[in-house]
Structure 1
């Protein structure tokens, strides 16, 4: 896959900061098991010990390098373009991008927490919900914009980019058999991104 336009780092500072933070935190957590388990979303622990920081920290860590790479690439390919677009139509575009990402994150983890707050065996990690929220937001704002190019397929517009991303996540989950990949976070995160896009358009 490749991006659909020339990349200008000055037009997507928040996205690049998120990518750098996510990568650093994930690599540290993969090397430090204690840190990893202290940061994952474990709803029972959040509920009993009031460790609400996990609603955010779980977004910054990943189960393995493949999981990290998929999310970092998707955020770079689509998230940076979303921020560039928002900056082109609004003087507070980077702020709006941060709002979309944060709302996607919180919606994904909070509603998952509510559903599983009494399930001792449930836990999850990764930024997939936040990334998918950004994709769905961009789809609403610019449905026919080419998100990226794929070999043999060519340009993939925003209307289909999220679907391809979900397929990649499902294939990864099947191959890795990793229970920490949370499909509920994907759904709620996507809803959060869509709501933010509708508010922005209003």
Structure 2
């Protein structure tokens, strides 16, 4: 039977997040609290923070996005990296997308972050490399993937500089960049395919 890590990641994330909604102790053990890494060497938090979420809507948005795009990308990475390729990509994206905020706040006991948004952004932007003109739905609004990517990056940069909310926009940006870079390094021909497709909508 063919393994499906996308469904597995969604199931584990959903279960752990749901348990943590009502278990503050569990939540605090898993989220990325920089002093716990810097002083306590709890490096597992670079991964576990992606399996807990702030609320149900946060969880649902990430997992719905992962469901639609992860299934498509899992086969692509599997062709190059084997059956564990997508799982490795996703978990490494969790680590990379957390690094900017961790480095900025590594000595800040008031800061913590959680959620799979950075890794999900990596999956989404890898997909956009392959199909930039594919229509995706932002809530119920159809938008070409490349247009969404431009708006997403632009807004994330703006929001990160303004810092008027509690969303970790730097994780979104780092995850998106990692998804593109990882995929291009794995298969450089993807870049040529992207430009050719982009110029021939």
Q: TM-score, normalised by structure 1?
A: 0.77
Q: For residues 19-68 of structure 1, give each alpha carbon's deviation from its aligned partner in whole angstroms, at most 9, with x where no partner exists.
A: 00100010011110110011111111210111111111100000111110
Aligned mates of 1:31, 1:12 — CA distance in 2: 31
2:134 is the counterpart of 1:145:
yes
**Contact 1:129-1:188 within 8 A present in 2 as well:** yes
Match 1:131 to one of 120, 123, 142:
120
Note the residue ranges of structure 1 that are not aligned, 5 or more in a row: 1-9, 170-176
2:56 is the counterpart of 1:65:
yes
The 1:12–1:129 alpha-carbon spacing in structure 2 relative to 1, beyond 3 Å, is: farther
Alignment match, 1:185 = 171
Alignment match, 2:145 = 158
Once the 2 structures are TM-superposed, how far is the Cα of residue 189 of structure 1 from its aligned partner? 1.4
Aligned mates of 2:56, 2:165 — CA distance in 1: 13
SS in 2 for 1:49: coil
Once the 2 structures are TM-superposed, how far is the Cα of residue 144 of structure 1 from its aligned partner? 2.6
Once the 2 structures are TM-superposed, how far is the Cα of residue 79 of structure 1 from its aligned partner? 1.5
Note the residue ranges of structure 2 that are not aligned, 5 or more in a row: 157-163, 189-201
Match 2:91 to one of 102, 121, 126:
102
Alignment match, 2:6 = 15
Once the 2 structures are TM-superposed, how far is the Cα of residue 130 of structure 1 from its aligned partner? 0.4
Structure number with higher relative contact order (C-alpha < 8 Å, ≥ 6 residues apart): 1
Aligned mates of 1:83, 1:146 — CA distance in 2: 19
Q: For residues 95-118 of structure 1, give each alpha carbon's deviation from its aligned partner in whole angstroms, at most 9, with x where no partner exists.
A: 332233122211111332122101
The 1:69–1:163 alpha-carbon spacing in structure 2 relative to 1, beyond 3 Å, is: farther
Q: TM-score, normalised by structure 2?
A: 0.77
SS in 2 for 1:120: coil
Number of positions where the alignment pairs a residue of Structure 1 with one of Structure 2: 181
RMSD of aligned C-alpha atoms?
2.8
